[in-house]
Amino acid sequence: MNFLLNGVPTEVAAHPMARLLDVLREVCGLTGTKEGCGEGECGACTVLLNGEPVCSCLVPVSQVAGSEVLSIEGLRGEHPLQALFMSEVGAQCGICTPGMILTALSVPSVPTLDDVKTALAGNLCRCTGYPAIYRAVMKWRAAEPAK
């Protein structure tokens, strides 16, 4: 099975129905993608599949053949949202943070608060109650509108 993982052509040997989540964590060794519920409800395992956020616990790896997958490691710690999630305390315990950040990448370039809430509605956070996450996302967009 071949796909583009964080920009790198990748070949994995895995059962076609293996969860993308498990392949990323156990075959590729990328443990930044977290399992929170295993049923697509919490969003902790979110990755971008051809640019769209998906729950990697619900995606059989065979579905990503020939596609582009971006996991949190693909941002290499260089994306401004990553620092903002820490400084604005959008991350407390941090377990939802990788998925939350990847989902947040899809908010519109000049978002309203409602846009941010709608974009993140599939990602649960139990620590922050969300306002600090909004602050991080709004600061990022204010400083760096999408092209």
Partner 1 sequence: MSQVSAVGRSVARKDGIGKATGAARYADDLVFPGMLHGRTIRSTIPCGRIRSIRFAFDPAGFTIVDYRDVPDRNVVDLIAQDQPYLVEQEVRHLAEPILLLAHEDRDKLAAARVEIEYDEAPPLFDPEQSSHVFKAIDIVKGNAAAALAGADQVIEGTYRTGHQEHIYIEPNGVIAVPEDGGVTIHGSVQCPFYVIKAVRCLLGPGRPVRVIQTETGGGFGGKEEYPSMLAGHAAMLALKSGRPVKLVYDRGEDMVATTKRHPSIVRHRTGVTKDGRLVAMEVEVILDGGAYVTLSPVVLSRGCIHAAGPYRCDDISIRGRAVFTNTPPNGAFRGFGAPQTEFAVEVHMDRIAEALGMDPVELRRLNALRPGDTMATGQTLREDASAHLVLDAAVRRTDFTRKREEYRGSNRGIGLSLFYHGAGFTGSGERTLKSRARLVLTPTGVRIAVGSTEIGQGTRTMHAQIVTDALGIPYEDVEVAQPDTSRVADSGPTVASRTCMVVGKILEECALEMKQQLGGLAPAEYYARHGALTVERMYEPPDWIQWDDDTYRGDAYATYGWGCDVAELEVDPDTFEVRPLKLTTVQEFGRPIHPALARGQIEGGTVQGLGYALLERVVMKNGAMANAQLTNYAIPTTLDTPEIDVVMLTNPYPGGPFGAKGLGELPMDGPAPAIVNALRHLGFDVREIPATPELLAAVPTIP
**Binding stretches for partner 1 (CB under 8 A):** 25, 30-39, 41-42, 44, 71-73, 75-77, 81-83, 85-89, 91-98, 101, 116-118, 120-132
Which residues, including other chains, have CB under 8 Å from residue 117's CB and lie 6 or more apart?
130, 134
List the one residue out of 52, 36, 59, 49 whose CA is nearest residue 124. 36
List the one residue out of 118, 126, 117 whose CA is nearest residue 94. 126
For residues 62 and 66, which CB has a smaller minimum distance to partner 1 in the complex? 62
List the one residue out of 42, 43, 18, 21 whose CA is nearest residue 30. 21
For residues 34 and 141, which CB has a smaller minimum distance to partner 1 in the complex? 34
> Least CB distance from residue 130 to partner 1, whole Å?
5
For residues 15 and 66, which CB has a smaller minimum distance to partner 1 in the complex? 15
Strand, helix or coil for residue 5: strand
For residues 59 and 116, which CB has a smaller minimum distance to partner 1 in the complex? 116
> Least CB distance from residue 126 to partner 1, whole Å?
5
